Amino acid sequence: MRPKSFGSGVTENVTSPSIDWEKVLLESEPQIRSVIHRYGARSAEEIDDIFQNVCQIAIGHRDPVQNPAAWLSGVAAKQAQNYCRSQGRYNKYVGIFRQDFSSGGRSDEPDPVEFLLQEERHRFVREAKGRLSSGDQEILSLSFEKGLSYKQIAEKLGISVDAVTSRLHRARRALKRELEQYGQQ
């Protein structure tokens, strides 16, 4: 029983109906799990964790509740939102940590190994491109190095856009063959 105040200092003991939370939770479990999933929890493990939190809150709740199933759905929604919000922050900070860790804590300095590998890849492509016909070299250069659109390339070379598409396709295929042969040596 808890005292109820009437404002003039007079109190009356009011008995709140006892809620059988175990029964309510068992009956409402599918609905609660659905709410948890709807509010962002995806894995079964996440849903189980949040459902367990909802159960703990319900069992510890002492105030009277008009509609326990609806109240539990509200609690489940809040718990799922809080969980997903905290996971978002966690993933954000883990990503920052991984980035800092992978660069040795110096995110502003380039990784020397990655720089050397990238330079080597560029050298391989330049050498393979040098073994192509002058027409293939020219169209690849206009497209990839200068970043011109198919229409701009067509105007510059005095050919149709369809011809640009066809020539670029052939030039890419030839470059791929050269790179594959270079990789086998």
State both tokens at 152: 């701009």
Q: What is the pTM of this model?
A: 0.43
Query: In this predicted structure, what is the pLDDT of residue 185?
Result: 52
Alpha carbon distance 81, 36 (integer Å): 8
Domains of the chain from N-terminus onward: 2-102 (1.10.1740.10), 112-184 (1.10.10.10)
Confidence of residue 170 (pLDDT cuts 50, 70, 90): very high
Lowest pLDDT segment from 6-20, 40-54, 167-181:
6-20
Query: Percent of the chain, pLDDT > 90?
Result: 30
* Residues found in the chain: 185
Contact between 132 and 175 (Cβ < 8 Å): yes
- How far apart, in Å, do the first and last CA atoms of the chain sit? 87
**Mean pLDDT within 61-89:** 86
Alpha carbon distance 76, 9 (integer Å): 38
pLDDT tens by residue, 100-119 = 555 554 555 667 778 888 88
Please report, for residues 131, 159, 174, 182, the alpha-carbon distance to residue 135 in angstroms, rounded to integers and kept in the order given.
11, 13, 12, 21
Residue 57's nearest CA partner among 42, 71, 37 is 71
Residue 60 has pLDDT above 80, yes or no: yes
Query: In this predicted structure, what is the pLDDT of residue 42?
Result: 79
Contact between 32 and 73 (Cβ < 8 Å): yes
